[in-house]
Amino acid sequence: MPDWSQLGSLFDFSAVYYTTQLVRCAIFSYMLLGLVMLLRKVLFSGRTFLKGMLWTSFLLIPFLGKLKMFYENEFVINLTWRLTGAAISWIWADRMYMAGIFTVFICIFGKRLRLWRFVSGMEKASLYHTLVRVTDMNVTPFTAGLLRPRIVIPKVILENYGREELWAVLQHEKTHIRLGHLWFGFLWDILRCLLWVNPFLTIFQKQFREDMEDICDRVCIQKSGKTAQEYGMVLLKTLKLLGTESGNTPSAVTYVGEQEFKDMKRRMGKIADFCPYRKRMCLGMTGAALLMIASAFLAVRTHSYARCNESRDIMIGNYDGKAEIISHDTGELSRMISYDDRFVYVRREAFEEFLEKNHGEGEIWIVFGGFYKLPGLAGAAEACIYERGLRDKIVRIPYESIMDNWYFELLKLL
């Protein structure tokens, strides 16, 4: 029967394990966010597609917490050892971090859920063979949902727009869906939950959405065959119709559109500067960006610790009233001790000499193998007791593995 009292220690370990990684990821996110904002302003200010691609670099951030450099690079160790020590020692801080993730998740995705329910109750209409939702509220057209995205259009637009204008509005929302912008927004919200200690991820969310909106505008203009001026006039008409009377409407978690004049002015400026782009070149850049991200993922995986790492360490301890470590020199001990799945094999003469030399008395324990999650951060090892007085040249000691225990199986999966 499982010992359910161990669940508490498993939850505490999970808090330590993930907090240690995520705080490091948050530090990286500060640096990367600063770099992205700098590149947007300086090098890529006129490069709409390249600016949008910069944000894909954040896909790497949640996977940087297990990089080996945190444990193997002396310079990085000196910078981060206090962080590791605090995460291990201050369990209350780890619990607070986990509670923060849960709280932010409820706030962000609770809003998404409320919006989805709100949209589901709206009136339905067919627009160019596409089912849309109609609202009486003064909001700009937007799309909600991921697997079954629903396009929402205000009734005032349906009643006052011509056929070509309605087609432009519908294609704009469909382009957001086709380009995966709704999924990008979803992943960004997950990042905000995991790294909630970086408030700039929320502050600069506006720039992230602006870049996605600019990409969508450029694609729509080129595909429509209309001029940038004609496309811009549709936006101006939207601003005139809806005004700014949207303060009491629920905030949409995807692309609700700009409701302030300065945002629309910025967007109109981008549309006015539109120049046709070469589709093949954009596809090539997208492919190159995806290849770079895939290569970066592979590099991070290669230079990170696995979820569960096999340990080949051997340690000798004794118990003579109190526990004491005699030696953990794995190199020396491996010349005397070996093991397989069922037995530990000890070269008796060499080991007895070793114990006498190191004043090994009392009950002698051999601790070996097992696994660890991160260096110095939890794991499990096998153990057996060495019995003195045997005469075999090679002493064979049977042991029962602890790895079949449900607790350690869960620990491996974390």
State pLDDT tens for residues 66-84.
998 888 888 887 777 777 7
Return the pLDDT at 330: 79
Tell me the CA distances in angstroms from 219 to 56, 176, 305, one per residue in order: 19, 10, 41
Between CA 186 and CA 23 the distance in angstroms is 21
User: Average pLDDT of 105-121?
Assistant: 92
Which regions of 252-336 does DSSP assign to beta strands (E)?
Answer: 309-310, 314-319, 323-327
Q: Which DSSP letter does residue 137 get?
A: S
User: Average pLDDT of 333-347?
Assistant: 88
Between CA 38 and CA 28 the distance in angstroms is 15
Between CA 77 and CA 54 the distance in angstroms is 29
> pTM for the whole thing?
0.84
Which regions of 109-240 does DSSP assign to beta strands (E)?
Answer: 123-127, 130-135, 142-144, 150-154
**Of the listed ranges 6-15, 235-244, 281-290, the one predicted with least confidence:** 235-244
| Beta pairing partners, 347 | 394
Q: Which DSSP letter does residue 372 get?
A: E
pLDDT at 194 over 90: yes
| Beta pairing partners, 153 | 134
Q: How confident is the model at residue 261 (pLDDT cuts 50, 70, 90)?
A: low
Which residues are CB-neighbours of 407 under 8 A, at least 6 positions away?
2, 3, 6, 10
Return the pLDDT at 195: 95
What residue has token string 């729509």? 220
What rounded mean pLDDT belongs to the chain? 84
C-beta separation of 153 from 127 below 8 A: yes
Between CA 365 and CA 316 the distance in angstroms is 6
Which one, of 50, 49, 57, lies nearest residue 29 by Cα? 57
Q: Which DSSP letter does residue 56 get?
A: G
Cα torsion at 56, 187, 13, 75 (round to 10°)?
A: 20
- Please list, residue by residue across 333-351, b when 16 or more beta carbons sit within 10 angstroms of its beta carbon and e when fewer do: beebbebeeeebebbbeeb
Between CA 156 and CA 154 the distance in angstroms is 5
Cα torsion at 207, 213, 214, 220 (round to 10°)?
A: 170
User: What does residue 4 show for φ and ψ, rounded to 5 degrees?
Assistant: -70, -10
Q: How confident is the model at residue 284 (pLDDT cuts 50, 70, 90)?
A: confident
Domain ranges, ordered by start, for the chain = 6-302, 309-413
| Beta pairing partners, 317 | 325, 365
User: Average pLDDT of 21-34?
Assistant: 92
Number of H helices, E strands in the chain: 16, 12
Between CA 92 and CA 102 the distance in angstroms is 15
Return the pLDDT at 127: 87
Return the pLDDT at 5: 63
